[in-house]
Structures are given as structure tokens and as C-alpha cells.
Amino acid sequence: MSNAQADMIIVGAGLSGLLTAWRCLDVNPDLKIMIIEAADKIAGDHTWSFNLTDVDESLRAWIKPFIAYQWDSYDVKFPKRERTLDITYCTGNSETLRACVQPHIESGRLKVKLKTRVKELKADYVILDNGQKLQATCVLDARGFEPNENVFLGYQKFVGRTIRTKTPHGLKRPIIMDAKVAQLGGYRFVYCLPFTAHEVLVEDTYYTDGPELSENEVTARIDDYINAKGWGDHELVRQEKGVLPITLAIDFKSGHGKSGHQENDGRIGIRGGFYNAVTGYSFPEAVKLADEICDEMEIFNDRELSFLAEFIPQYREGHYDEETFLRLLNRMLFRSCAPEERYKVLQRFYGLPRDLIERFYAGTLSKSDKARILIGKPPVPVTKALYNFSEKAFIKRERARRESDT
């Protein structure tokens, strides 16, 4: 295309947009990508964590530069269960993500436009707020989460504070869930990542029905937790916050996941629904999709790039189909439990075998794994569990409720 500014344009320089650019540029030396970001820097100011087993073994060497910290095990804590899981846990951050793509920026193969908003996005061009039109063979939309009337959600909300303690904090490994804290109207836990002997991320996370986040209130809870741990004498290094979607149901009949109702459906990352429906973890799905896109582009030409507009919606449908069981678990958590009792679902789950827990996070549960999760003494009322079992019936009730509320 003679007027093209790049082979590919990616709108949004967050996790998925940058991972996709990084992977495609690493694999294909002839490719040129432009990434457009509304903020004043790429990658934001975030932390992303994952089990190493969430990522296919063939891709672990590639993602190694992204990993800032790695631990051999982690703890979970509940009122009636504490456990150390020997599962390798990894964390990367905005700084390491920026470093991964910096060589491609310096080579000129990745061009970055900052503080630039897109007002119109099509399959092969974008129009900026200033009216400028930028063309490419393929345009991907990685601008972050956007609500959809055909997706029914709960929310995971968090505020995290990285602190530097005056004396050693004493944590030997991450605590990915400390649910011994007060539940306060929804499943709540505190998450701790010990980066060094003196530096630790303390994050207060809770699952509730609505997306509202009171940052000051949650920050006060973090301070109480820090003081209770004896870490009161500390320096604040940084603070982050987020609201992540937790998917309860998807109405496929209304076309979500198909490209027919949108002129461009090259949505990736959280905007495209690529995250773990239960945990909200997005890094493993972003890595997987970036690699799948590269596979489609193995022999680079215009046809391969334009084909992504068809491939991504098809891939999304497969992802949603794979997560049918996870959406069922979310309906059990959000709609079958009293808010203050939701922790019992996770307390029971973390009593299951370690390899099953690994497969759960990796999205590779077998039929017997799913049966193992559901059978036995249920942590939710049976009648409520059965009431929320059917995704189709759940959607019908939710639509009726929405109509009655308007």
C-alpha cells in the first residue's frame, strides 16, 4: 500500500499492544509497526504477574527479559487453610516491558506516537483527533477495557503500594492471597510481592458486583495491613490501581466475538476479552495471542496481515469457548454466595492438588479436573448453584433485570 505509514498500526501501548509489537518485530525482520498511545509514555506504570507454567514452554526463553522477579513458590492464606504452593511465580513491570521494545524503537522499526488520540479506527486506517489519516495493511485495537452490552461482568478492583521498609520485612516468598482479612462485602484478599529484603508490593484486592473504586478507602486499608505486619516505618515507592473485568456470561447469539457488527474487530488484550475470566490475569493470554498472530504472519505479505481482521475474531470465539467453565465458576462466586462468604469458594479450591491448580491458571483443565472442582461438599448453596448453572438462562434474567432498571 503506497500510502501506508506502517505495515501494522497498533492503537494502545499497554501490555497487549507492546507484547504483540515486540513478538512480531522479533520474529519478522521485514516488519514495520506504528504504535499510537494517548498517554505521555508507553507501558504505563503497572505490575503484571503470572505462574511460569501459564506460558507455553516454547515461549519462556522469549519472555525472560520481561521478568523482573521470580520465586520458586508462594503462599495462600484463608481462615481455615494456609498453604505453600511450589509453583514458580513471576512478575514483570512497565520498566521491563519498555526495555523489551526499546531496541526496536531505536532501530526505527517501531515508531511511537505519544499523547495522540484516535477518534476513528478501521481495519486498514485510523483517523486521529486532529483529522490526520494514517494507513496500514492491518490495524489492531489495544486501547484497554471497554464495556459491552453482550458481556455480563463482575469486577476485580485493587490498589497497590510498593513500600521500602526501614528494617527487613521478613517475607520469603509472595503471598498471592491473604484472605484472612475482613471481607467487607465481597471476596477480599491482600497480595504481597517481596521484591527485595526491604521492598515489597502490598495490594488490596476485592471482587464486587460494581466497578466503583474508592482509592482513598482502599489505601487506608493497606496502611492498616502494613502497620499490622510491623512495617509501619517505611517509604512509599509507588502506587497503582486498577479495575479488571471478571466475566460471568457472554451472549454469543447477539454476535459478541464475531466481526459482523463492527467495521474493525482487531481488538486484542483486555479490550478483546483476552484475559483469564476468573483471575483477571492478562499476561499469559497476551503472550499467547501475540505468538498466534506471528504464526499467521510467518510468511510476511499484505495478504497475511489483512487476514488478521478475520483471524482475531475466530481466535476470540475459541478463547471464549474454552472459558465456558470459568464463567460458570464466576457465577457460583458472584451470584450463589453471600458476599461475605465468597472466600470459601477459593478456600476450598486451594485444597485441590497442585498440578490441577497449575492447569487452572494455564487454562488447560481436563474434564476430570472440572469434575474435581465441582464435586464434593459445595461451598455454595446447592439451590443457588443450580439456579446459576445455565449461562443462557442467566443471560435472559440479566437482560430482564436491566430492562426493569431502565
Q: Let me know: does 81 contact 347? Beta carbons within 8 Å.
A: yes
Question: DSSP states of 257-298 as a string?
Answer: TSSTT-S---B-GGGGT-S-TTT---HHHHHHHHHHHHHHTS
Nearest to 308 by CA among 151, 128, 118, 141: 141
Domain that holds residue 103: 4-70+89-147+251-322
267-276, 293-302, 385-394: which has the minimum mean pLDDT? 293-302
Does position 365 have pLDDT exceeding 90, yes or no?
A: yes
- Pick from 213, 248, 283: which residue ends a domain? 248
377 DSSP assignment: S
Residue 302, pLDDT score: 64
Residues 285, 141 share a domain:
yes
34-43, 169-178, 294-303, 365-374: which has the minimum mean pLDDT? 294-303
Residues 172, 242 share a domain:
yes
Nearest to 33 by CA among 370, 229, 305: 305
Residue 295 or 67, more confident: 67
Residues 232, 171 share a domain:
yes
- Pick from 201, 219, 248: which residue ends a domain? 248
Residue 262, pLDDT score: 45
Residue 392, pLDDT score: 95
Burial grade of 260 (CB within 10 A; 0-12, 13-18, 19 or more): exposed
In a domain, 125, yes or no: yes
Burial grade of 298 (CB within 10 A; 0-12, 13-18, 19 or more): exposed
Confidence of residue 5 (pLDDT cuts 50, 70, 90): confident
Residues 47, 30 share a domain:
yes
Q: What is the mean pLDDT of residues 353-381?
A: 90
Residues 138, 157 share a domain:
no
In a domain, 77, yes or no: no
Residues 302, 401 share a domain:
no
In a domain, 28, yes or no: yes
Helix (H) / strand (E) element for 356: namely helix 354-362
Does position 110 have pLDDT exceeding 90, yes or no?
A: yes
Residues 100, 52 share a domain:
yes
- Averaged pLDDT of the chain: 92
What is the tally of structural domains in the chain?
A: 3
Residues 35, 102 share a domain:
yes
Question: DSSP states of 197-250 as a string?
Answer: SSEEEEEEEEEESS----HHHHHHHHHHHHHHTT--SEEEEEEEEEEEEEEEEE
Residue 254, pLDDT score: 56
Domain with residue 237: its CATH number is 3.30.9.10
In a domain, 385, yes or no: yes
The length of the chain is 406
User: What tens digit of pLDDT does each residue of 155-186 get?
Assistant: 999 999 999 999 999 999 999 999 999 999 88
Nearest to 316 by CA among 283, 268, 278: 268
Domain with residue 101: its CATH number is 3.50.50.60
Residues 255, 139 share a domain:
yes
Residue 306, pLDDT score: 82
Residues 284, 143 share a domain:
yes
- Pick from 264, 296, 322: which residue ends a domain? 322
pTM: 0.94
User: What tens digit of pLDDT does each residue of 243-287 get?
Assistant: 999 999 999 765 544 433 344 589 999 999 999 999 999 999 999
Counting residues of the chain whose pLDDT is more than 70, the rounded percentage is: 95
User: What tens digit of pLDDT does each residue of 326-340 get?
Assistant: 999 999 999 998 888
Confidence of residue 134 (pLDDT cuts 50, 70, 90): very high
